[in-house]
Structure 1
Amino acid sequence: MLVNHGVPETLMKAVLDDCNEFFNLPMEEKMEFATKDIWKPIRFGTGVDIKVEKFFFWRDFLKVFAHPEFHFLSKPQGFSEIAQEYCKRCHEVSMELLKGISESLGFEESYIEKAMNLKSGFQLFAANLYPPCPQPELAMGIPAHTDHGLLTLLIENGIGGLQIQHNGKWFHVNPLPNSFLVNTADHLEILSNGRYKSIMHRAVVNNQSTRISIAIPNGPSLDTMVSPAPELVDNESRPAAYIPMKYKDYMDLQLDGKPCLERVRLPIA
C-alpha cells in the first residue's frame, strides 16, 4: 500500500465518481463499446465469459488505452479530462517506484525506464463495477490471476473485495484511505529473473454493496522484447528463468484465458 504518493485525494474521488456515472449510463450507450477485441482502444464488457471460467463473472468493466496515446469516451461529461489527468499522475507514480526498484536490483535508477522503453510504455485505464450479487458464494468478480506489465496501481470506493494470495492462502486486502495498492506484475518478475514476484489476486463479491475499482496497469512499450535482465543472469548459478517474448505477443497469449507466466517460465533443473 502506497501513501504520500502526491496524487490529490480530490482527483482520486473524482475519477471514482465519474466511473460510477459511466456505469449508470443506459446499457445501450455502453454497449456501443462492447467487443471481444482486446486491441480496441475503448472496450466495455459485462456478465459472463464461459470460455474463461465455469462460474459467473459478476462485473462490468471499461478498459481504455491511456498511453502512449490517450483514448477516451465523450460521456459522461468531463470524464475524459479527469481520467487523463489521473492516468498522467499514476504514470508519474509508477515511474518513481520503478526508479527505486531499478536501484534495488543493483542498477542505475533509469535502467527499467530505458530497458522497457517506458517513454512509449503501454498504460491501460481499467474500471470495474461489482454490483451486489444475490448469491455471492456462486460467483466471482474476477478469478485468480496475475497482471501483465510491470506495476498496477489500484484504488477502490471503500468497499472491500480484493484478495491476495500469500503462501497458498487468500487474504482480504483492507486498503488504507487514499492509498494505492501496488501490484507487482508479470513483466517485472520476468525482467528481474524472478526476484520480484507477480502477485496472484482475485476479486470476490458481496450481496449488499456495489464495489468500484480502478486499476492502472503500466507496462513496457508493446514492441519491447521482455526477457530477464542480462546482468541478473548467470548461466551456472542463476540461469534465465523465462523465455524472451514481445509484450504485445504476451498480451495476445491471454486471449485463451490460461496463465501466461507459466508459459514463458523455463524449467530450472
Structure 2
Amino acid sequence: MEKLVSSWFTIKTLPENYVFPAGKRPGKLHAPVSKAIPVVDLEKACGLHGRLDIIQQIMEACEDHGFFQVINHGVQATLMEDAMAVFKEFFELPGEEKSRLFSEDNSQSCRLYTSTVNYRKEEIHFWRDALTHPCRPLAECVQHWPEKPNRYREVIGALCEEVNELGSRILKLICEGLELEKGYLENELSKETSLTVNHYPPCPDPSLTLGLSKHCDPNLITLLIQGDVPGLQVLKDDEWIGVEPLPHAFVVNVGYLLHIISNGKLKGAMHRAVTNAKTTRTSAAFFINAAENSIVQPAKALVGAENPPLYKAFRYGEFFKTYASHSGDTEIVLEPYKMKY
C-alpha cells in the first residue's frame, strides 16, 4: 500500500525513481490539446445513408489516427457521471479499505496496483495507480469487484452492460468498413471485456515523469472515458497531440489485434498519459479483448497475391505474455509475429 502514489503524492520533490531519462520526458511544453482527433456522431448511423457515412468516418479515423471520439453513442450521460464519481470515491477510500485489493500478483483478476504490471522490474515508475477487473460475464465477475463504495457494483455493473453494447456496435461498423463477413469481429475475438481505472494524482514536476509511456493496447479496441481533465496524448506524424476532453464522449482507439486482423490497414494507436501539477485525473478504459485461446491472424478476405499477410497466426494468450513481458514496447512487441519474406 505504501507504494501507491495516491498515498504519498503531496511531497514537494519528485523521487528519483519517477524521473525519466531526458529523451523520454514530456518536457516543459506539453502537447497542446487539439481538435484534430475525429469526432463521430453515432446517432447518425441509424439510417442506411447515414450508416455508410459514419462507417467511412470511422475507417478514415482508424487508418489515419488510430483514434476517434464518439458522441451520441447511447450510453446514458448520468450513468457515466455516476461511474466517474464512484471511481473517484474509490481512490479516496481510507488506506485500510484499499489495502484489501492491493496486490502485485498479476494473476489476481480484481486488484489495485501502482505504475504497471511490472513494478518490481521497473527502474523508473509511472505516476499512476490503477484498479483493474474483468467485466464479462458480468454475473460471474461482479462478485469479485470492490465492495466499497457501497454502490460500486450496481453503478459500474450497469455501465459495463452499456459499454459492451456500444463496443459491439462499433465493431460491427468496423467489420462492415473492412468488408468482412458479418460477425467476424464478434466471436472469440471480442469475447472478453476488462476495465482499468487510471488514477493520476497531482505531480510535483510533470515535466520529468509520465502517467503512462508510449504504447499501443494489446486488444481489439479500447473505449475510454477520459473525464474532464486533459492528459491523453496521441502520436501523429512523430508529434504528440493532446486529446480534447469532450463531455460524455468515449475515446476509441485501435489496438494491436485489430491492426493485425486488418493486415496493417488500420493503425495501431500509439498513445501516452501525462500528468499535471494541480488536478487529479481519473480515467476509465474498457478493453475489448480476445479469449486466451483465440487464433489471431490477418483476415483471409484482406490478403492475397498483391496483399500478402504481414503477420503469422498466433494464440492471443501467447501474444499477451509477450506484450506484458516487454511492457508494450512498440519497437519489439510485434517482431516475433511478423512474416519474413
TM over 0.5: yes
Partner residue, 1:44: 112
Residue identity opposite 1:2 in structure 2: V
Q: Does 1:188 align with 2:258?
A: yes
Q: Does 1:8 align with 2:79?
A: no
Q: Does 1:164 align with 2:234?
A: yes
Q: CA deviation at 1:267?
A: 5.1
CA contact (8 A) 1:145 1:200 kept: yes
Higher gyration radius (CA): 2
Q: Does 1:230 align with 2:300?
A: yes
Structure 1 residues 156 and 75: CA distance shift in structure 2, 3 A: same
Q: Does 1:102 align with 2:175?
A: yes
Percentage of pairs with the same residue: 34
Partner residue, 2:53: none
Structure 1 residues 264 and 95: CA distance shift in structure 2, 3 A: farther
SS in 2 for 1:139: coil
Partner residue, 2:338: 266
Q: What stretches of structure 1 move > 3 A for 4+ residues in a row? A: none
Partner residue, 2:129: 60
CA contact (8 A) 2:198 2:282 kept: yes
CA contact (8 A) 1:149 1:218 kept: yes
CA contact (8 A) 1:55 1:139 kept: no
Partner residue, 2:274: 204
Partner residue, 1:70: 141
Q: CA deviation at 1:115?
A: 6.0
Q: CA deviation at 1:264?
A: 4.2
Partner residue, 1:122: 192
**Matched residues in 1 for 2:207 and 2:238: separation?**
20
Q: CA deviation at 1:64?
A: 0.6
Partner residue, 2:160: 87
Residue identity opposite 1:85 in structure 2: A
Alignment of 1:123-138 (within 5 A): 123-138=193-208
SS in 1 for 2:234: strand
SS in 2 for 1:136: coil
